[in-house]
Structure formats: structure tokens, C-alpha cells
Chain A
């Protein structure tokens, strides 16, 4: 059964759309179409307007001196080499990746990809700004899906992480 961020990040379970974390007193809200996906039995979300494509998993090509544990390889997509980020490794999730899909996103004109285990839904959801306590590095907000808080992946941080790993 899938976990949501409350259990993963050790948060109290939130039953309402307006959580009352003490550390987040002034959460601004807005609605966006979000792609909900599962990775290592945890549910995450990405605003759909960042997503360029979701394709079947294909083998990754290693690029000498570039690939790392966080970026284990690249895929060709529309003639471009796209770096694939191992989100499970980045978030320190233990379960092996199922390698079923590749989700390509564009942030700041740069394409990157992640490999979710399962795409669950695309839904218009309210995004609550600010990180969930304990997940500051890779979450830039959260949304409520099926009455549970789901972390919105911080794409800026993730996109930048690739070059930090190379360095």
C-alpha cells in the first residue's frame, strides 16, 4: 500500500486541506493541474505544466565522467540527450525502482527526467506553498490528494542537483 508524505516524512496525518503546521503559518494557496505518481510506495506530485512527456522506460546510456548515483544515465528524446535522475537515490528511498515509466520535465528551459514506478493520476489540486517540514531539500510545497498531504517535488533543486553531482 502506498505511503504519503506524512508517514514518509514522519508527519502527523492531515485530514483537512488546510494543515496547521506550526512552522507554516501563512501558506498561500493556488490550484494547478498536478501529475501524481508513486515511487517506492510513496506518493509525490509535479505540476503538470512542467511535464514534457511520459514515456515507456528504456535503458539508460551512461555518459563518461557525467553519470553518477543521482544521475545514472541519459535517454535520447527528440534528438536530445536527457539526464535521468534517480529520485529514489536522491530521497534515500530503499526500494528498488520498478523502471516502468520515464517522466520528462522541463525546468528553466532544461529537460530532465525521473523514473516513477507508477503514474497514479492527473488532477487539478490546490498547491500549498512552502516545504513540508523535514523535506525542505526536495519539496517546494504540497498538495492534498485523497485527504493526505503529498509533496510537490522541487524541480529547480532537482534540476540543479545533476550538475552538483557531476562536480
Chain B
């Protein structure tokens, strides 16, 4: 679809104008409900945009505005508007809104002068990046080869180097095409803040820090609704009214701050307000009221555990609904959106001081310095920001602690693990060199010493994601341009360090277990919480069972493919594959049909229990069962059942 740039430019301006009118109209609906004039204004804007879209063949915009017209007509005929209709309208208008339109075409950013406007698809940009990456690698290889050619003319050598420089520049520039900075998003947030502040009669200051932080355009488009949701929540019920703020000696102006920073391959966005904070006791009360936990269990929940309930669908601490928030839909969507993108959201709160939501967004395409090493004949990279130190085995003290081999480093005992084993890479040769390098990884104050075959180099890499079939593989950040005929897999140290790891020297114990030389029964624990996993593992070992752990449903299925287990214990809420889907997968696998399945969830909801049992679980416990011997007794009973059967 090629149209002249001038027409495209005009459409862009018109699009922005009508969109603004629609956004104002939407806010008016939210604040004042049905209003005949407002319907007319919105209808006119939608109709004009539809006509313009038809002219420039923007079919999806034309269709969306047509749907909006239909909705407005119904509202007009009935003379009233429902919350569902406002939500639908909001969805339609937001579909029309981003810099990347709903057909996936990137079109003009209004702030850019018309002479620099470009019409190009995102897939073309991706192809361009890949080709530029390949060209960069090729010129690099030619340069290396050229060095070994005797009698090469100096001019040819200079030309090769020049070609390499140009290829690198090209690679960097194409990479920039996919990125944008946060200011594109925050302009809209300022508008919404101003509108909501006026409608709720609150004085609010929104400050955005590090707006120049770069982020993938597509990711930004996907997280935009999340930030708007957090903004609405904060403004609607995060801030106290003026009288209350003054009573508490707070500044009359409510403060909202959005801080962005690059953390390795992730962009972290902190959304902070100085409001009243989350009322933990109110959450506890709601947990009991909604029957999510009995009173005893709810009272034992920690503040972190209580805050997790905010991300449950339909959970709201607000007693009254407003058009802006309080329906209990919002934070669950924020969480699920972030999880889908391979990121996460967490919350911190202090009573009377405010709340912070921290969004971690992984970059699908990124450029950073990586340490590249060889492991089982493969090139692997780790982002340099996670590398604390590289040492050789001969230069460091190895010792045994709690039955595991550890590296003594900076007064800390760090678990030493074989990289090939941790990364699940198979070696063709079992021969291991002496004095192999050790990479000490440091992820959020957790350290791991990885022993590798050799260090290759340290260099800037541009990573591309694996295709959509592998998008759930959280362990791989992406693949860097090839190294000769080999690919460089850039691994995610955050994922690796969260894995159950076997220290060097303990493999024999695991191997004997794999071969079935041990007569004890094997139990698989599937839970995304490290603490819960470890607690269950220890309890099971105390009971004399062999125990393996998996960090989510997908990992659990992998384990079940590899080994035979006598019992599976699983959590419900897990990333990638939740407990329900895991139960379904297990029960649809012929060899696992009869394996006993125990579900343990701290969100002790009756509907969850019913569903889990219907899907084929044999028992359901809440996490309070660890406090007495209910857990151990249930495990023993399920295993006896299997033996009897």
C-alpha cells in the first residue's frame, strides 16, 4: 500500500486532531455519563476520520471508526450509556491511537517534520536489521581473513576496514529504527493526568525521569495500556483528598513519578505515587470475605503475599465503583500483559507514604556488551552487566560447603556449576580441560560460578529473538549474529540463576538417581516461588523422598518427559503454563494418566479446588498445610494409593 507522502502527512494531522476530540469526548462520558452533544461531537470526529481513512486506504482505521459510529448510534438512540459501552469505546479509540496503527504499519509521528516522514512496515525494519547484522558479521570475517593474506595491497586492506566500519554503522542505524524513547508515551500520560486531575478535583504533578530511555516500539505499544491503568488507579484511589493530605502534613500537590532505566537487557519502569499506600489489612479482609483463604491462613500471610492478591482477576480493595477504577480489572491485565512479554510487575507500598509499581520489560531486540564463551562446542553469550568476574580454576579456592562444591569469593561461598550442564547442552566429547575459566555471575545480589570451556571474546552484540515458536523460552534473550558458521545464544542469567542447580561434584548423586539405583520414591515439585519450592523439597527429603523441582508448568512437563515420578506436586498460578494446564497435559499423556497429583495453592479458592479436582488432581491443599503435618500426610497417603493401585 503505497500512497504519496503529502496525502499521508495530511492524514496524520487529521488523525491526530480527531483522535484528540475523541479522547476528550471519552473523558466527558466517563465523568458525566450520557450527553447528547458529546455523542454528536464524537460521532462527527469518527465520521470524518473514517472518510479520511477511506481516502488513504487505511482499511482497519476505516473499519474501527465505522464500529465506533455504530456504537455511538446505539447510545444516541437509547439516550443512555453503560460502563461496558464506555470500555468498548475506550478500546476502539485506543486502537486508533498509537504511533503504530492497528495494521502494524508504522506511520508518521506528528512531531516529526513532514520532510522526514516515512511509510514502512515493521516487518521490513526487522528484515533490514537482520541483513545489516549479517553484513556486519561478513565484513568482520573478511577483515580477519584478509589479515592472513600475504602481499595484500594496503589499499585493499584499508577498503575492507572501511567497509567494516560502514557495515557497523549501518547495523547501529537500522537497530535504532526499531527503538523509540519513552517521551512518545509520556506525552499521552500527561494529557490523561491533566484530564483526570480536573475531573476528580485533585492537584497532581506528574514527573517523568529518563525519558530518553530507549525501548522497542512494539513493546511500548503493548505496555501503554498498562501505564494508563496504573495512572488511573493512582489518581482515582491512590491519592488522598486535599483535606486528608493536609491533615497528614503532606504537600497539597500529589506527586506521581515515572522513572525509567535500562537494567541489562530489560527496561525497568517504576511508577511511584506519594498517596496513602495500599491498605494491607483491607486486602486481608477482602481475602477472607471472598473466601480465598480461611481466617487463620489469611492472618498468617506476609505483606508481600497480600500484595500479590492485587493482581488477581476481580480483586479490588475499593468499596465503590467509579468509571475510572474499582472493578478489579486492571492490575490483573497489567500482570498478564507483562508476563506475556516475558517481563513482570511487582509492587512496594508504605502506609501513608505511597506505592511503587515496578514494571520489568525485556527488550526483544537489543544491543549490549556480552561476554562470549565456548561451552560444549557452542558459542554462548551473557550480558556483561551480569558478569562479576572471570577467573581460572587454578587461581581460586574451591571448597565444599553443605555437600556442594563452592568457590570462595569476596567472603562468600558461591555455588560452582558446570555451564554445559546448567544450559542443558550435550557434549560430543567427555574430555574436560584442566584450568578452565570460571565466570562469576551476579544477578540482583545472587551469585553463581559457571565453569566454561574457554572464553572467546567480549564484544557488542545485537540480538534478535528466536521465532514465535520459541517465544516462551525465557532462558534465551536472543541470538546474536553468527560467529563464523556458529550462532551465539545469549542466555538470560536471571532465568539461569533461578533454576535448581547441581553443583560440580554432586552430579554422581543425581546420575545414580536417574539410573534408578535409589529405591526411594521420586516426587516432582512444580512451583514458581523459589521459597515454596525449596520448602517443599526440604520437607520431602526429610520424609525420605527423592525430589526434583521445576519452576513452572513447562519445566514440569520437561522433567516428566525425562524421568518417571511417583508423585507430582504443583502450584496453580505460574508463568508460561499454569497448574490447570499442567494437570490437563499430564492427564492427557497416556503414561501419566495414573500418576498421583497434588495441588498446593495459597490462593485457596473453592473454584480453583473444584476445577483442579475436575481436571484430574487427586488432592488440593493450601500453603498453610506446611505448618503442620498435613502436607507430609497427604503425600504419604497419595503415594500409598499409587502403590496399592
Residues in chain A within 8 A of chain B (CB atoms): 58-59, 61-67, 74-76, 78-81, 83, 110-111, 159-160, 162-163, 166-167
Contact = CB atoms under 8 A, between A and B. Distances in A.
B473 A166 contact: yes
A160 to B, nearest CB: 8
B130 interface: yes
A111 B469 CA distance: 11
Given A78-B130, A78-B131, A111-B467, A61 B473 contact: no
Given A63-B378, A81-B487, 7 more contacts: A64-B475, A64-B491, A66-B473, A76-B485, A110-B467, A167-B558, A167-B577
Interface string B417-436: 00000011110000000000
Contacts of B423: 64-65
A66 B466 CA distance: 10
Contacts of B133: 79
User: Which 6 residue pairs spanning A and B have beta carbons closest together?
Assistant: A64-B423, A79-B134, A79-B130, A76-B482, A163-B469, A65-B475
Which of A59, A61, A65 has the most CB atoms of chain B within a 10 A radius of its CB? A65
15 contacts: A61-B487, A61-B489, A62-B489, A64-B424, A65-B423, A66-B470, A74-B479, A78-B130, A78-B131, A79-B130, A79-B134, A80-B130, A81-B479, A111-B467, A167-B472
Contacts, number: 84
Contact of A65 (B426, B464, B468, B476): B476
A63 B464 CA distance: 14
Given A110-B467, A162-B469, A62 B131 contact: no
Contacts of B131: 78-79
A76 B487 CA distance: 6
Contacts of B470: 66, 162-163, 166
B271 interface: no
Chain A contact residues, majority secondary structure? mixed
A65 B424 contact: yes
B487 A74 contact: yes
B234 interface: no
Contacts of A81: 464, 466, 479, 487
Given A81-B479, A81-B487, A166-B473, A61 B466 contact: no
Interface in B552-599: 554, 557-558, 577
Interface of B: 130-131, 133-134, 376-380, 423-426, 464, 466-470, 472-473, 475-476, 479, 481-482, 485-487, 489, 491, 554, 557-558, 577
Given A76-B482, A78-B131, A79-B134, A64 B489 contact: yes
B441 to A, nearest CB: 14
Contacts of A59: 485-486
Contact of A64 (B380, B469, B481): B380
Given A66-B476, A76-B487, A81-B487, A61 B378 contact: yes
A58 B252 CA distance: 68
Contacts of A64: 380, 423-425, 475-476, 489, 491
Contact of B554 (A78, A111, A167): A167
Contacts of A80: 130, 464, 467
A158 to B, nearest CB: 12
A11 B485 CA distance: 42
A74 B485 CA distance: 10
Given A58-B485, A76-B487, A65 B473 contact: yes
Contacts of B468: 110
Contacts of A166: 469-470, 472-473
Contact of B479 (A63, A160, A162): A63
A93 to B, nearest CB: 20
Nearest to B465: A81
Contacts of B554: 167
A62 B376 contact: yes
Contacts of A167: 472, 554, 557-558, 577
Which of B469, B486, B554, B558 has the most CB atoms of chain A within a 10 A radius of its CB? B469
A68 to B, nearest CB: 9
Nearest to B379: A61
A80 B131 CA distance: 9
A63 B131 CA distance: 21
B177 to A, nearest CB: 16
A76 B466 CA distance: 12
Which of A63, A110, A162 has the most CB atoms of chain B within a 10 A radius of its CB? A63
A101 B482 CA distance: 20
A63 B476 contact: yes
Contacts of B376: 62
Nearest to A59: B485
B485 A63 contact: no
B469 A63 contact: no
A160 B470 CA distance: 11
B224 to A, nearest CB: 26
Contacts of A58: 485
Nearest to A159: B469
Nearest to A64: B423
A57 B636 CA distance: 53
A63 to B, nearest CB: 5
B473 A62 contact: no
Contact of B487 (A63, A110, A160): A63
Contacts of A111: 467
A74 B482 CA distance: 11
Contacts of A67: 425
Contacts of B379: 61
A165 to B, nearest CB: 9
Nearest to A61: B487
B457 to A, nearest CB: 16
Nearest to A72: B426
A32 to B, nearest CB: 26
